[in-house]
Structure 1
């Protein structure tokens, strides 16, 4: 009787472990591999030593040199996320993002922007959304985001992705280059090359720049080049390091040109370390929920089922044979003699 109960308990526990393993792998796991609604506010700081840049102070335009510091802040907009409807409901999250660039010698503001966009919770790519906007300091304007912006997909692959560039308001390809270890993490390096891009500048602002930097010019444009390199932790899709080699030239219709930006922005050591720490923690959580826990439960479940089956077979092997039963029933002990 006891062996029968043990067999049933082991078999039940084994099946339950297998069910939990399947649930973690196929139900809970996919839910973990997506952007949370309660994302913590994060900041990424990059610096550009000895940068050449344009600064406008009290209407005066001048070209200067100093170290620039860029701070990008990302935080969730829970109210706008809750208001999403249709295909976006449950599939997207709204982020509020802002950037400030200052010169480190005086802490004067050089440039700033703020923006709102909707991201796919799984791929982290921008989704079409009527509520997206961009404010570069003049006024809010409509913008159509696409591709990756501030994060890569969970399970990033060694392939080409599209990264949105705010200066040209378009997505351009970022090609996989190689793997590289940073802060003990394997990262995928991607590089995006933008050459001869045109930055949209309001007409009145463009005239101010031309009048100050290229007197006599009546029209022109801002030509933009950027080599953007991102190092991504592939399991989480988080940026570990970012470097941008930016160049902007004010080009007049006469052919005259003035460099208004020449800077190499790179994540600070502190930002790289904190990014790696967050990615490492998130990767461990993902691996536990999506791989190690299901695998462990599956192995445990199979072991318990196998043990239950083995006990069942042993219990079956102990049954008395029919011949022995017959012998016991007749009370005979040995061969039965035939009457003579």
Structure 2
């Protein structure tokens, strides 16, 4: 009975471990490959050496040269995420993003923008949300966000992706260009090339630029080029390194063109290092809970089930063998009959000698057998 109970406990424990392993694979791991609701804020810094840029100070526009620092702060909006409804509820998160570009020498602000948008929790792509906006001119503007913008999908593929460009307010293809090592971590490199495209700027803004930088011009366009390269962790889809080679040129209908921006921004070493460390930590959690833990639980569970079955089976065999031995034990009744002429006596035999009236002992202490009485004696 004890062996049977032990076997049942082992078998049940093994089944439970297999269920836990399946739960990690089919429930926990998919949940971990989604943007979390409680994601911490993150900051990335990119620097551009000896950049050419437009700077407006006290209403006066000038083209200057200096080193620039771009700082982007991403903050999850938990309350707005919780308020999402319809198709977005549970499947999207809301992020608030702010960027400032400063001169590193004078610490003066050169440009800034703010935005709020909703991202799909799995693909990381922007999704349509009625409250999303972009503010890069002092006024919030409704923008049709789409494609990848601050993140790539979990388990990114070696293929092309649509990446949103803030200046164009549209997506352009970022082509997969291969794999590279970034601080000891394999990264997928994607490249988006934008060449001489007109920016969708309001006419009044273009007019202000023309009046300050191209006197005599009555119309014009701002032409934009950018080679954006992103190095992505293929497991988590997070950016490990970003480089943007930007150029904006004012092209008036008369007069010389004016370069408004010519800068090569790239993540600084500290941002790259912290991005890689976060990706490694996330990778480790995914590997532990998605691979090693389920595999270990499955192996242990199968071993417990097997041992439980063996224990129960051995106990059954022991009981059956005991019963068979009890039922088939030989008795003296089953032994062959021994004839008198085959019996042996002696000190090593447990057989009882047959009764006889014809034996006599020579020992004086043993009385001899009396002779048969004659008729005369009887009388």
Shorter-chain TM-score tier: over 0.9
TM-score normalised by length of structure 2 = 0.85
- Return the structure number with greater strand share: 1
Give ranges in structure 2 of 5+ residues lacking alignment. 340-379
Q: Is the 8 A contact 2:216 2:254 kept in 1?
A: no
Deviation at 1:220, TM superposition (A): 0.8
Residues of 1 paired with 2:44 and 2:332: CA distance?
Answer: 91
Give ranges in structure 1 of 5+ residues lacking alignment. none
2:30 counterpart of 1:14: no
Q: Is the 8 A contact 1:224 1:247 kept in 2?
A: yes
Q: Is the 8 A contact 1:133 1:140 kept in 2?
A: yes
Deviation at 1:196, TM superposition (A): 2.0
Which residue of 1 is the match for residue 107 of structure 2? 107
Which residue of 1 is the match for residue 216 of structure 2? 216
Residues of 2 paired with 1:265 and 1:143: CA distance?
Answer: 24
Residues of 2 paired with 1:326 and 1:309: CA distance?
Answer: 27
Deviation at 1:314, TM superposition (A): 2.8
Which residue of 1 is the match for residue 44 of structure 2? 44
Q: Is the 8 A contact 2:217 2:255 kept in 1?
A: no
2:105 counterpart of 1:132: no
Deviation at 1:136, TM superposition (A): 0.4
Residues of 2 paired with 1:121 and 1:196: CA distance?
Answer: 34
Deviation at 1:133, TM superposition (A): 0.4
Deviations 1:271-290 (A, max 9, x none): 01111111111111111121
Residues of 2 paired with 1:198 and 1:98: CA distance?
Answer: 24
Deviations 1:26-79 (A, max 9, x none): 012111111111111110000000101111111211111100100000001112
Which residue of 1 is the match for residue 305 of structure 2? 305
Which residue of 2 is the match for residue 320 of structure 1? 321
Residues of 1 paired with 2:212 and 2:291: CA distance?
Answer: 61
Q: Is the 8 A contact 1:81 1:93 kept in 2?
A: yes
Q: Is the 8 A contact 2:124 2:148 kept in 1?
A: yes
Residues of 1 paired with 2:13 and 2:249: CA distance?
Answer: 70
Residues of 2 paired with 1:255 and 1:314: CA distance?
Answer: 99
Secondary structure of the corresponding residue to residue 321 of structure 2: coil
Deviation at 1:337, TM superposition (A): 5.0
Residues of 1 paired with 2:37 and 2:21: CA distance?
Answer: 26
Which residue of 2 is the match for residue 157 of structure 1? 157
Q: Against the structure 1 CA distance between its residues 257 and 122, is the aligned structure 2 distance closer, same or farther, given a 3 Å change threshold?
A: same
Deviation at 1:188, TM superposition (A): 0.9
Which residue of 2 is the match for residue 186 of structure 1? 186
Deviation at 1:295, TM superposition (A): 1.2
Q: Which moved more, 1:202-211 or 1:233-242?
A: 202-211
TM-score normalised by length of structure 1 = 0.94
Which residue of 2 is the match for residue 246 of structure 1? 246
Which residue of 2 is the match for residue 232 of structure 1? 232
Residues of 1 paired with 2:195 and 2:292: CA distance?
Answer: 45
Secondary structure of the corresponding residue to residue 241 of structure 1: strand
Q: Against the structure 1 CA distance between its residues 333 and 105, is the aligned structure 2 distance closer, same or farther, given a 3 Å change threshold?
A: farther
Deviations 1:2-27 (A, max 9, x none): 32222111111111100000011101
Q: Is the 8 A contact 2:49 2:263 kept in 1?
A: yes
Secondary structure of the corresponding residue to residue 140 of structure 1: coil
Runs of 4+ deviating beyond 4 Å? 321-325, 333-338
Deviation at 1:201, TM superposition (A): 2.0
Residues of 2 paired with 1:7 and 1:44: CA distance?
Answer: 57
How is 1:20-99 mapped onto 2 (pairs within 5 angstroms)? 20-99=20-99
Secondary structure of the corresponding residue to residue 34 of structure 2: coil
Deviation at 1:334, TM superposition (A): 9.3
**Aligned Cα RMSD in Å?**
1.9
Deviation at 1:333, TM superposition (A): 6.4
Which residue of 2 is the match for residue 121 of structure 1? 121
Q: Is the 8 A contact 1:327 1:333 kept in 2?
A: no
Residues of 2 paired with 1:334 and 1:306: CA distance?
Answer: 45
Secondary structure of the corresponding residue to residue 276 of structure 1: helix
Higher CA-based Rg = 2
